[in-house]
Amino acid sequence: MRLLLDECLPKPLTRHLRGHESATVPEAGLAGLKNGALLHRIAKSFDVFVTVDANLKYQQNLATLEVAIIVLRARSNDISDLLPLLPRLLAAVEVIRAGTVVEID
C-alpha cells in the first residue's frame, strides 16, 4: 500500500511502516494544501492518508474520495505516543478501502 502521512505527523514514523511505500505530505510536495484539496490530489498517488485530525471526517465528504483515511488518536503527535498504535495501524492498512475512515486509539 502507498501511505501518505499528514504534515502534523513526525517524519520518522515512515521508518516504522515497513512493507509499505510511505511519504509525508511535505516529501510529496503537497505541503500547505487544505485538507479537501489535498485529499482529492492524492487519490491517484496514494491508497491511505494517515492523520491525527479527528475532525477530518466532519469536514469532508469522505465517501466520495478514492483514498482511505486512518485517524490516529493519541495523546499527542509525538512519535513516542504514536508508536504503540502501529500494530493496529498496520492491521487496518491491510483491510481498509477507499472512501472509508478508521480511527485507531
Query: Residue 59's pLDDT band (boundaries 50, 70, 90)?
Result: confident
pLDDT (mean) for 71-80:
95
pLDDT (mean) for 85-96:
96
Query: Residue 56's pLDDT band (boundaries 50, 70, 90)?
Result: confident
**Domain limits, the chain:** 2-104
What contacts 6, CB < 8 A, 6 or more positions away? 24, 25, 49, 50, 51, 52, 53
Q: 86 pLDDT exceeds 90?
A: yes
How many of the other CB atoms lie within 10 Å of CB of 41? 14
pTM value > 0.85? yes
Nearest to 5 by CA among 101, 71, 76, 100: 71
